Chains A and B, each alone.
Chain A
């Protein structure tokens, strides 16, 4: 009897648990780092609505600052600030891997790029604080 040969084969896809990342601390740290994007989106929206409140007049501005004083927002901002700083640090530390700059033939050392980024961050931050004080 003829045996029909199955010419259509299905590739085997092993099923990964959705908690695959929870078993190793390196994976957990990775997920934590990636989740800092939520703090970025959170503050972008807070900042946008801050500007919107300003556009609506002094009372709206005062009301928005009052809203920011609520315990919920203070806690959210404490968490967000932690996440944002973690984002900045991990981002700048990765910068040399993303950009390779060459001076003539020699590549600029990674440490130079990292330090330049941190310096720029500090200077910019001080400028903005000075603006607000």
Chain B
């Protein structure tokens, strides 16, 4: 069975989602809040945002699709960059497997928020 288009579609969607959302979120969560440029949102406030199921569903998509973007892209970076064509299958299992595992972890965390 030829799964390549499936992984490529996830790669594309993940590329769009990460391109749109991650720079600003990384700026806020990784730099602005830790360095005190802005106050960390109050626990009650931010928990309130995440509580609704629809929000958690959106967060799931925003986390999982970029992971599959990484999986597909990094697999090919290793294959093409390090000339590991003979390891394609193994690298695929490693990369897509890691993304699948993190998808299950994300689902678990967001479901039990």
Chain A interface residues (CB < 8 Å from chain B): 16-18, 20-21, 31, 34-35, 37-38, 40-41, 43-48, 50-52, 54-55, 57-58, 61-62, 65, 68-69, 73-74, 76-78, 80-81, 84-85, 87-88, 91-92, 98, 117, 120-121, 124-125, 128-129, 131-133
Given A34-B81, A68-B30, check contact A84 B102 (CB 8 Å).
Answer: no
- A-B pairs, top 9 by smallest CB distance, nearest first, are A77-B30, A41-B70, A125-B24, A37-B73, A88-B19, A58-B43, A68-B34, A69-B34, A34-B77
Chain B interface residues (CB < 8 Å from chain A): 12, 14-16, 18-35, 38, 40-41, 43, 46-47, 49-50, 59, 62-64, 66-67, 69-70, 73-74, 76-77, 81-83, 102, 105-106, 109-110, 112-113
B23 touches A84 (CB 8 A): yes
A–B pairs, 21, beta carbons within 8 Å: A37-B69, A40-B69, A43-B26, A43-B30, A47-B25, A48-B105, A54-B50, A65-B33, A73-B34, A76-B30, A77-B31, A81-B23, A85-B23, A87-B18, A87-B19, A91-B15, A121-B20, A129-B28, A132-B28, A132-B33, A133-B38
